[in-house]
A = this chain, B = another copy of it.
């Protein structure tokens, strides 16, 4: 219980080390550790004590950065959500055909799902959040849904996608994608990018109007799957 484990991930509180890193860096470290633990054991089984232990700090110290356990959970979700929405915005800005947009969405979303914060989007239980936060997550999910549906609709309109039931099509695609958050293991045979490339074709093959050949993708700035956590600070 009291034995500090030798710093699990990469902890800014490494003992005997300078502890003057910036506040945000620590906040971020807490989130990284927490999301990891929540995914491993589930939100309820994971205790703040273990989060703290892995960071070589004590439980109350966490309260300098977060108001509550639920707050941490929500922030983890928020990070994943923001990543997705950022990519959606980028992709939509390209104003490509419906099919091309859809494929970019699939690709980007697949990569995110293979990250911890991405997986948290589908593996955390909204019922564990405040009612207020539940609404936020619900709205987030809807925005993602809408983005996929919009691309499909647009594709039908611009002729790149066959006519189909938009809602069910989106569900099927998102389902296959979300499932990645459950089965992907970093030490598996396929890299996130490989999975993403495959799914971009696979999940759109049946509704693509013409040749399923992938058009050379626009070079997007690589998704920093384990990138910097945005500072969403304790209010």
Which A residues are within 8 Å of any B CB, using their own CB? Answer: 2, 40-45, 122, 125, 127-128, 165, 168-169, 171-180, 182-183, 190, 195, 198-199, 202-203, 205-206, 212, 234
How many copies of this chain? 4
Contacts of A43 in B (CB 8 A): 44
Given contacts A175-B177, A175-B178, A179-B179, contact A198 B42 (CB under 8 A): no
**Is A179 in contact with B175, judged by CB distance below 8 angstroms?**
yes
Rounded to whole angstroms, the CA-CA distance of A40 and B202 in the bound complex is 33
Rounded to whole angstroms, the CA-CA distance of A125 and B199 in the bound complex is 26
Nearest B residue to A113 by beta-carbon distance? B175
Nearest B residue to A164 by beta-carbon distance? B202
Contacts of A41 in B (CB 8 A): 127
Rounded to whole angstroms, the CA-CA distance of A70 and B146 in the bound complex is 38
Given contacts A128-B42, A128-B45, A206-B206, contact A179 B171 (CB under 8 A): yes
Contacts of A44 in B (CB 8 A): 42-45
**Is A127 in contact with B42, judged by CB distance below 8 angstroms?**
yes
Contacts of A122 in B (CB 8 A): 182
Contacts of A178 in B (CB 8 A): 175, 179, 182
For the complex with contacts A171-B176, A176-B176, 14 further pairs of A-B residues with Cβ separation under 8 Å are A40-B127, A42-B44, A42-B127, A43-B44, A44-B44, A168-B190, A168-B198, A168-B202, A172-B176, A172-B179, A172-B203, A175-B178, A205-B206, A206-B206
**Is A183 in contact with B171, judged by CB distance below 8 angstroms?**
yes
Whole-angstrom distance between the Cβ of A114 and the nearest chain B Cβ:
12
**Is A165 in contact with B198, judged by CB distance below 8 angstroms?**
yes
Rounded to whole angstroms, the CA-CA distance of A169 and B138 in the bound complex is 29
Contacts of A198 in B (CB 8 A): 165, 168
Rounded to whole angstroms, the CA-CA distance of A212 and B173 in the bound complex is 19
With beta carbons under 8 angstroms apart, the residue of B127, B182, B199, B234 that contacts A172 is B199
With beta carbons under 8 angstroms apart, the residue of B168, B195, B199, B202 that contacts A195 is B168
In this complex, the member of A42, A175, A180 whose beta carbon has the largest number of chain B beta carbons within 10 angstroms is: A175
Contacts of A168 in B (CB 8 A): 190, 195, 198-199, 202
**Is B128 in contact with A202, judged by CB distance below 8 angstroms?**
no
